[in-house]
Amino acid sequence: MKNTLSKFFEDHRVHEVECVIPDMTGIARGKILPRDLFLSAGEIRLPKSVLLNTVNGQQPDNGPFVGDTDPDMLCIPDASTIRMVPWAAEPVAVVIHDCQEWDGQPVALSPRAVLRRVLGLYEGQGLQPIVAPEMEFYLVARHTNPHEPLQPPIGRTGKPEVGRQSYSIDAVNDFDPFFMELSSFCDQHQLGVETLIHEAGPGQMEINFSHGDALDLADRVFLFKRTVRETALRHGVFATFMAKPMEQEPGSAMHIHQSLVSLEDGRNVFSNAGDDSASELFHHFIGGLQAYIPRLMPMFAPYVNSYRRLAPFMSAPVNVRWGYDNRTCGLRVPKSGPQARRIENRVPGVDVNPYLAMAATLACGWLGMRDRLQPGEPTVDSAWSVGRDLPRHLEDAIASMRSCDPMREVLGESFVDAFCAVKELEYGTYNRVISSWEREHLLLLV
């Protein structure tokens, strides 16, 4: 590994190295080291409690999860993740690290370790999950006052978008300099992005990734979010991955397409080998998604804002019904040939930690296959009219996740408890805020 990194640094004349790990919110934490110090050290050390930061920088009582002394953990570079930082003024590389205990075991609280744990269950059965995420996000005008609503940015026309512009080529071209540089950065960053479309909301875009290994895709999404934000800043606008940034506009999702292939012959096991029909594993996988997605919503909808997106007739699901080419369902099966048969999980918001969202959806499918769970009948009409089976609030979702014993077994008890503690602290912090609605309607009327 050291030789691989050293050659990369020489080839690209690297000066510094960003050593990063994703915390539970998906924020990049770590250190920046000179190249030679990075190579001589071979690792970095960070307090294990860094993994427990909330999105606003607080930490729950971390003693039960990391010990009373707040010890260090080892962060070991994964050489397969090394990339150049395309927007840096000097040659800077970034390497994602794995978190290890001093005895070499993975740190159970690490999102990357949680995903590896779930992927190990599949590998033990001779299977590899294949995923393809779709990332929606908004470009918005620079915004410094959090008490004011977000506004669409000004494009090359000198005007903000008016109305909704789904799939509009001209609306995308209005921000052509941004997208040209973003495309260049994504190529340099080796992120493997494919399709670009304009989504429904003003300034709302979607970029799709090529399908592949779940850990690699989680790494790429982790780096992509930062790339988009950095590019937007260079063009005088903000990019936001909030699930519901504008009150009257659709929210932003991270849809996850997923299938399973045999490690022995590469065959898609969601299809029967004989007649190319849908296999029992395919149906059990859907059964697991239906049974457990509502129990793992903090991993698919991690913030109070996330639940504002999950509303009918706003391009988001309210339940885990499934259907063929039915975008009103939480689980959509696109039209495809037998080798491309897959399930699209439309529940996750784009505000998720990609490692945890992918671990969660694959864990749901795994339990469905293990326990041979049967799905409901496919929905042929609008799933928005058949009722809601997803939690409405983060507080209820946390309680449901904490008490889900099968998921505690699959994801690890220490991770589930620590993750729920982080979410509870975030919810408690939010719940102390007095909103403008309360001041407007309660101040002089009650």
DSSP codes, 247-270? TTS---BEEEEEEEEETTT--BTT
Q: Is 359 helix (H, G, I), strand (E, B) or coil?
A: helix
- Which range among 121-125, 150-154, 253-257 shows the weakest confidence by mean pLDDT? 150-154
Residues carrying CATH 3.30.590.10, the chain:
120-392
Q: What is the pLDDT of residues 378-410, one digit of tens each?
A: 999 999 988 889 999 999 999 999 999 999 999
Q: Provide the pLDDT for residue 154.
A: 81
- Which range among 50-54, 111-115, 155-159 shows the weakest confidence by mean pLDDT? 155-159
Enter the DSSP assignment of 161: -
Report the share of the chain in percent with pLDDT over 90: 80
Q: Provide the pLDDT for residue 167.
A: 52
Q: Provide the pLDDT for residue 169.
A: 63
Query: What is each CA distance from 365 to 52, 308, 369, in whole angstroms?
Result: 27, 26, 6
Q: What is the pLDDT of residues 173-203, one digit of tens each?
A: 778 888 889 999 999 999 989 888 777 788 8
Average pLDDT score over residue span 410-434:
96
Q: Would you say the C-alpha torsion 177, 181, 182, 187 has a positive or negative sign? A: positive
Encoded tokens for 250: 């659709």
Distance (Å, rounded) from C-alpha 361 to C-alpha 315?
20
Ramachandran area for residue 325 (φ above 0: left; ψ -120 to 50: alpha; else beta): left
Q: What is the pLDDT of residues 272-289, one digit of tens each?
A: 988 889 999 999 999 999
Residues carrying CATH 3.10.20.70, the chain:
2-107
User: Residue type at 303?
Assistant: Y
H-helix segments, 333-386:
354-370
DSSP 200-239: SSTTEEEEEEPPEEHHHHHHHHHHHHHHHHHHHHHTTEEE
Band of residue 312 on the pLDDT scale cut at 50, 70, 90: confident
Average pLDDT score over residue span 409-420:
97
Q: What are the start-end ranges of the E strands in 6-90?
A: 16-22, 28-34, 44-47, 72-77, 83-84
Distance (Å, rounded) from C-alpha 16 to C-alpha 94?
9
User: Residue type at 44?
Assistant: I
Helix or strand run (H / E) with residue 333: strand 331-333
Q: Provide the pLDDT for residue 84.
A: 95
CATH 3.40.50.620 describes domain 2-107: no
* Mean per-residue pLDDT of the chain: 93
User: Is the distance from CB of 231 to CB of 139 less than 8 angstroms?
Assistant: no
Token pair 């840096």 in the structure block, residue = 88
Res 436 pLDDT > 80: yes
Across 236-268, b (16+ Cβ under 10 Å) vs e yields ebbbbbbbbbbeebbbbbbbbbbbbbeeeeeeb
Q: What are the start-end ranges of the E strands in 149-199?
A: 193-198
Average pLDDT score over residue span 231-237:
94
Q: Provide the pLDDT for residue 164.
A: 63
Q: Provide the pLDDT for residue 170.
A: 65
Band of residue 205 on the pLDDT scale cut at 50, 70, 90: confident
Band of residue 165 on the pLDDT scale cut at 50, 70, 90: low
Q: Provide the pLDDT for residue 155.
A: 76
Q: Provide the pLDDT for residue 178.
A: 87
Q: Provide the pLDDT for residue 166.
A: 60
Distance (Å, rounded) from C-alpha 106 to C-alpha 101?
6
Give 202 or 37, the one with higher predicted confidence: 37
User: Residue type at 32?
Assistant: I
Q: Provide the pLDDT for residue 246.
A: 92
Q: Which CATH number fits domain 120-392: 3.30.450.30, 3.40.1370.10, 3.30.590.10, 3.30.70.270?
A: 3.30.590.10
The alpha carbons of the chain give a radius of gyration, in whole angstroms, of 22
